[in-house]
Structure 1
Amino acid sequence: MVVAADATAQAAGARVGMALSKAQVLVRGLVVVDLDTKADADSLERLGLWMLQRVSPIVALDPPDGLVIDSTGADHLHGGEAALLETLLGRLTMSGVTARAAIADTWGAAHALSRFVAQPSFVAPFGHGEAILAPLPLEALRLPASMASDLRKLGFLTVGDVLAQPRAPLALRFGPELGRRINQAVGDIGEPIDPMRAEDLIEVRRPFAEPIGAPETIARYVGKLVVALCSELELRGLGARRLDLLCHRVDNTIEAVRVGMATPVRDIKRLTRLLCDKIETIAPGFGIEIMCLRATIVEPLDQHRSVSSLLEDTEPDISDLIDTLVNRVGDRAIYRFSPVASDVPERSVARIAALAPEIGGGWPSHWPRPTRLLLRPEPIETIALLPDNPPVSITWRGIRRRVKRADGPERVFGEWWKADIELSAVRDYFRIEDDTGERYWVFRAGDGENAETGSHKWFLHGVFG
């Protein structure tokens, strides 16, 4: 029997649950791989541990083919829920893993939407309720196959059909499992997530005889946990790149706080401050009974004493500032530009992490470059004498500007080794200044003579000063 099929096989007619002999008849040259449940489970666990380090501090297995991730408190670090899913699915695709993902208010709803709605991702609106689940098939409720079959015999085809019925008669006929799954999906009862953990994870825990909830009390014990964790890190010669604070509440839910560092850190005051800045995001409910602090990502840290010198200028350490900003607004909002070895202007610069090493050569110095490079060159209307003269006037964004001074052309050739279409592509760039003193960087697509070199249209690509 077919238990899984890729997109190509499904397009040819293969379906999960189909007899293998029938699938081989439908799909010519079908590649068949024997099911290895242990290998699949091991791969799912490895993927879960990767998610634990990179995405969220609360990740649990949802076998046989799923993971459940509590992204509360972590999605803003990735640019929001939609950006989180886009980044996550993009990384999985680059690794050769086909996946679908959904974000919803409950585990049950996310499970249903990821399998029956997401193509490949779906973000349910906050407080979506039952309506978003109503059109889905009965399997979306995670019911046993026999129970779903019995419900269909009685005329229940969708989740909405079941939700429209009184719960008591259904419980008498099918037992408590049906009601439990319905309540979990719509959020009437909680479904605690038991987060997975790596075997070599460095963590410290603090149980409480009486639950705590006051912010100042939480802050005090955060400081104590950081001291204990830094002692463990020092014994191993490590520094933390990512910390997860898990607060286990008395109602069996977990409040999580995640902070990241640009470089390995073992400074008690610095780590305590970063964690305490997030205390306002913790909802203690009726109280917190266990606090757990984990060093999710660690790296070797060589603590050496810096030697001051009157002859050498020491570079200021801005990693503390970077960490504070990144944990407040997310790593996508904090970056710097680095030069890339390319003559094409839009390819000659890349965004990198604020403290990441350089990825290319130095900035070009043979020709001045604008301080502001537009994301995409914008078309302009010009009056210019071909083939080599600069424009005498340009019209950009509906405003006509008369050119007083100009310098150029600077010819840029296409990168023919990357794409055949760039084999003969040419751009001629000019630096121009209008009658108000504004300076712009414009180019003509083509050499002004041969049509195969470009469209000979003009574009504005940057602004100086």
Structure 2
Amino acid sequence: MRVMERQGNAPPDDIPVVLAREGQHGPVIHAANRTARLEGITPGSRVVDMRAICPELQVAYADEAGDRAALDRLVLWARRWCPWTVRDGDDGLILDTTGADHLWGGEAAMLVEMETQLSLLGLTARLAVAPTWGAAWALARFGPVRAICGADEIYFKLGALPVAGLRLDAPTLLLLRRLGLKTIGAVMDVPRLSLTRRFVKAGLQANPLMRLDQLMGKLAEPVSSVDAKPVIRAQARLAEPIFDPTPHLPELCADLCDQLKQAGQGCRRLHLMVYRTDGDVSHVDVATSAPTRDPAHLQGLFRDKLERINPGFGFDLITLAAGAVEEMQDRQTRLEGGADDDLHLTQLIDRLSAKFGPRAVTRPILRQSHLPERAEAQIAALASVPETGVVLTKERPLRLLDHPEEVRVLYAVPEGPPAQFVWRRQTHRVARYAGPERIAPEWWKDRPGTRLRDYFKVENQTGLRLWLYREGLHEDGRGGDPRWFVHGFFA
């Protein structure tokens, strides 16, 4: 499938128009309309050269990033015809319609339906149905506007197409043309041993033998659909377009949770998608801190979020899909059976996160680091906790300061903590201490010259227990005299 025009007000058909992009030696042609192609304008040529051929040529710069984003949205939109769709380069889509064409009245009727729906979006397309990815690619670009090819017709319908239909790189195409192999059929007629000798070390895009095998179905090339729909989902097909999915949400959540319960699973993500009549797709995502299949709880997470959906002229299909599915078993919390209906902590976290945003509620996790300030981090409560393998066996302060506070030492004990120091304008006298605990810098993260730390647990004359550390040693070659800091408080 090849998208040839953008959505919007197209220029008159009799005016040659091209889209340009930056090349090594100035702007080059990125795409051209039919009139420009009839004038001899070819993609990849320099704009200055094409202006000499066609002085009335109109040039606009292509938005390649925007085109790719639009094509990615079109990939999701095209799943109305089959579940497996993927972007094919920068100008096409591949749909695996195996077992789905009969739902549309056959392959020919399905192509008509596709062309009709794309035309409503302001897009023109070249469509082809073939047994393999490679055959469909070649027919869509070099065959008729709508083409259907059976498994036993590949040689006859693709033999006359240009050799560029094999998806080879430019140097290989130039070599084949110099050898007189200008069509796919001509390459097919060459003895296989000759092609093997010449291209035995070539990669996929430079090996016509491998491309022929893909085209004929001898070499597998499955459609690996990215971001495929989850297996567990609920749908609501509507007879007429509506503008608010709220009335259908309870039934969708109940249906989805029934499927999760039958599978013995729970979900941590929910994806609500509405398919608008103008072809656009709008979605709202929610998350939970733990696997769940409570329909009332899941429905409540969408509260105040459905307003973000832009209904446009209405939508006629609603899909609720479960993501991040995990194993989940029912737990009996009462002696007579069943579970308590009270609000659990996880549900409270979910509701707060849905109300104030996914980053509003956080929780601490351990990190694999010996430095205290790096051994703990705050992550969103809805995020999955990574396995770090960190086990803390030494006592750590109940409260750790975000930034260690420097102290002024009045008298220091050799190889020990300060006997007296000033911190926060108060003089502290050390009554007892324990340590040191030496923590070396992390050389794979810290800058060269970072000094080691010696930590001490000290108690002052009033019983306040602090966690101090000395940064550096005398004559360690990494700075001047050692500095002292308070890093935390013990209970």
Q: TM-score, normalised by structure 2?
A: 0.49
- Give the whole-Å Cα distance in 1 for the aligned partners of 2:369 and 2:230: 43
- The AA in structure 2 aligned to 1:261 is T
- Aligned residue identity for 1:304: R
3-state SS in 2 of match to 1:194: helix
Cross-structure match for 2:49: 153
Cα contact 1:241–1:264 (8 A) shared by 2:
yes
1:343 touches 1:413 (CA, 8 Å); kept in 2? no
Q: Deviations over 1:379-408 (max 9, x none)?
A: 44433324224253336xxx6332255542
Q: Does 1:245 align with 2:272?
A: yes
Match of 2:426 among 401, 424, 428: 401
Paired residue secondary structure (1:392): strand
Sort the Cα spacing of 1:431 and 1:338 in 2 relative to 1 into closer, same or farther, 3 A: farther
Relative contact order, higher structure (CA 8 A, sep 6+)? 1
Shift of 1:372: 2.9
Offset of residue 151 of structure 1: 2.2
1:461 to partner: Cα distance? 1.9
Structure 1 residue 185: Cα displacement: 4.8
Write the distance in 1 (CA, Å) between the matches of 2:73 and 2:29: 17
**Distance in 2 separating the partners of 1:183 and 1:415:** 49
Shift of 1:266: 1.1
Give the corresponding residue for 1:373: 401
Going from structure 1 to structure 2, the CA distance change for 1:372 and 1:391 (only over 3 Å counts) comes to same
Q: Over residues 285-339 of structure 1, what are the superposed CA-to-partner deviations in whole Å (9 max), with x where a residue is unaligned? A: 2222221111122122212332349xxxxx9831111222334455555333355
Aligned to 2:233: 203
Determine which of 441, 444, 460 is the counterpart of 2:467.
441
2:483 is matched by which residue type in structure 1?
A: K
Q: How far apart are residue 199 of structure 1 and its match? A: 6.5
Taking the TM superposition and a 5 Å limit, the aligned residue runs for 1:24-423 are 143=31, 146-147=42-43, 149-153=45-49, 173=57, 185=66, 192-195=73-76, 198=228, 201-214=231-244, 218-308=245-335, 317-329=344-356, 331-338=358-365, 344-351=371-378, 354=381, 356=385, 359-361=389-391, 364-365=394-395, 369-374=397-402, 376-387=403-414, 388-390=416-418, 392-394=420-422, 400-404=425-429, 407-414=432-439
Offset of residue 228 of structure 1: 1.7
Do 1:390 and 1:430's aligned partners in 2 also have CA atoms closer than 8 Å? no
Distance change (3 Å), C-alpha of 1:135 and 1:221? same
How far, CA to CA, are the matches of 1:439 and 1:337 in structure 2?
24
Structure ID, larger Rg? 2
Aligned-pair identity (%): 25
Structure 2: runs of 5+ lacking an equivalent:
8-18, 33-40, 77-84, 86-226, 337-341
The one-letter code sitting in structure 1 at the alignment partner of 2:299 is T
Take 2:360 and 2:20, find their aligned partners in 1: how far apart are those partners?
38
Q: Is the 8 A contact 1:141 1:182 kept in 2?
A: no
| Structure 1: segments with no counterpart, 5+ residues | 1-61, 64-105, 108-132, 157-168, 310-314
CA RMSD across the alignment: 5.1
- Provide the C-alpha distance between the structure 2 equivalents of 1:140 and 1:383, rounded to a whole number of angstroms: 73
Counterpart code for 2:315: I
2:487 is the alignment partner of 1:461: yes
Per the alignment, in what secondary structure is the counterpart of residue 451 of structure 1?
coil
Alignment TM-score, normalising by the size of structure 1: 0.51
Which deviates more from structure 2 when the two are superposed, residues 230-239 or residues 350-359? Answer: 350-359
The number of residues matched between the two structures is 305
Opposite residue 414 of structure 1, the aligned amino acid is I
Q: 1:202 to 1:444 in 2, by over 3 A?
A: same
Residues 167-192 of structure 1 deviation map (CA, whole Å, 9 limit, x = unaligned): xx99x747xxx779569959xx9995
Q: In structure 2, what is the Cα distance between the partners aligned to 1:192 and 1:180?
A: 21
Q: Aligned-pair distance for 1:221?
A: 0.7
Deviations 1:103-126 (A, max 9, x none): xxx99xxxxxxxxxxxxxxxxxxx
Deviation at 1:194, TM superposition (A): 2.8
- Specify the code of the residue in structure 2 equivalent to 1:151: V
Aligned partners of 2:266 and 2:325 also within 8 Å? yes
Residues 282 and 302 of structure 1: CA distance in aligned 2, closer, same or farther (over 3 Å): same
Residue deviations 1:251-295 (CA, integer Å, cap 9, x gap): 222111111122221111011111234212222222222211111
Q: 2:247, 2:240 → 1: CA distance?
A: 15
What code does the residue aligned with 1:273 have?
Answer: G
